Amino acid sequence: MMTFETVSENKAFGGTQGVYKHSSAETGTEMTFSVFVPDHAEGSKLPVVWYLSGLTCTHANVTEKGEFRAACAEHGVIFVAPDTSPRGDDVPDAPDEYDFGKGAGFYVDATEAPWSENYRMRSYIESELPGVIAANFPVDMDRQGITGHSMGGHGALTIALRNPDRFKAVSAFAPIVAPSQVPWGEKALGRYLGSDRAAWAEYDAVALIEGGARVPDLLVDQGTADNFLEEQLQTHRLVKACEDAGIDATIRMQDGYDHSYYFISTFMADHIAWHAERLKA
């Protein structure tokens, strides 16, 4: 299960931008992911930043629009972008609901039928895909950072908070910070995990922090013109949770920016530099 198929490879900024696919034991499906490896000395191992995409996205959104390669080449950082959800004709879906099912895995291990068989994105991201990456790319697995956008920002924050010894840096773009308290999250967590809200806490960054989870610091960029800010993202909840917990949080409200990749690409280099500083050997 450590092998994969190459879909494409292209030279970029002196390095290699690849897209690959493999059969996942966790999701029971074929999964696609992208990896950018900057130019590096033969035999050397590089730090890695994982990027988790948002609702309706695949690996391709950030790969094509994220504008991360120049910064990764400058700082010598590998960039890995997995898919958001299992895919395939036999995978359960909610085709009339953009915020649930395929494209909306929320980085959970579902426990409720029919979702539990395939929707195991937590284990895929935390366990299975890292094994594939470590076996096939020049990654120093002792130097890992994680970031993401929207639903993927939720994933990045919660995964880092659950695994503080593994991830040395965490950031997010417009994350869903408290999914247990907003419509997107209540819908997804309720249907994937069931009605017991106690089971939702490990997938809620604010709840994790309130429960004692800690990271040394974090970086979040959030646009003030984001039409999801008030109802779904609620950045103020993360601000308060970090203040109460004493977490050194750099949470920047970026005037006039929306939820799109125009916003993400504007601040991507800042995030790569943030991670690179914390992932130094």
Query: How close are the terminal C-alpha atoms of the chain, in Å?
Result: 29
Token duo for residue 18:
């690849």
Under 8 Å between Cβ of 67 and 163? no
- Amino acid at residue number 87: R
SS3 235: helix
Distance of CA 68 to the CA centre of its chain: 15
Under 8 Å between Cβ of 156 and 126? no
> How many Å apart are CA 36 and CA 31, to the nearest integer?
17
Report CA-CA distances (Å) from 168 to 43, 112, 162, 163, 271. Answer: 23, 32, 12, 9, 13
199: number of Cβ within 10 Å = 14
Token duo for residue 160:
């880092």
Under 8 Å between Cβ of 8 and 21? no
Q: Which residues are catalytic?
A: 150, 226, 259
Pairing status of strand 30-37 against strand 248-254: unpaired
